[in-house]
Amino acid sequence: MTDHRDEVEQLLAEYRRSREQLADVQQQLTAVSESASSDDGLVTATVGGRGVLTGLTIADAAYERYRPAELAAQIVRLTGAATAKAFTDASEVLAPALPQDTDPQALLLGTADLTADEITPAGQDRTPSADDFGDDESFEDANWIDDSEWQRSR
């Protein structure tokens, strides 16, 4: 009977160590934060360890330098770059807590043992560019407010 109690005590101690390690890893993952800035420093995107956008800084001069589609493309590009850096940091935090042959990046991405073909649907294998946002047409001077009702009521 004593053998069973010792075994249970060992299992409980191991469980407590695992929980402490998990809590520590979670705290470290929560602390991961990476940023990426445009070459001119006008746009900066910041993401957390799970790749979620947590901050976006756009200098006033960015509105003069970039057309809306270009600014959108910059934000998407910078968020992707910051996410890649954050995932690298998160992988380094997570790796020691995982079994030896487990890929932390795949775990973070939720891809496990899937192949690239299984993950990426056809036609979605590239990062969007400014061309994807319709650079052919500018909407900068367009009036988006229908003020015809307001004009008649005056």
Burial category of 83 from C-beta neighbours within 10 Å (exposed 0-12, middle 13-18, buried 19 and up): buried
pLDDT digits (tens, 9 = 90+) for 2-32: 688 888 989 999 999 888 888 888 898 889 9
Distance between CA atoms of residues 120 and 20, nearest Å: 36
Name residue, tokens 């319709």: 134
pTM of the model: 0.63
CA distances from 135 to 8, 78, 139 (A): 67, 19, 10
Q: Is 102 helix (H, G, I), strand (E, B) or coil?
A: coil
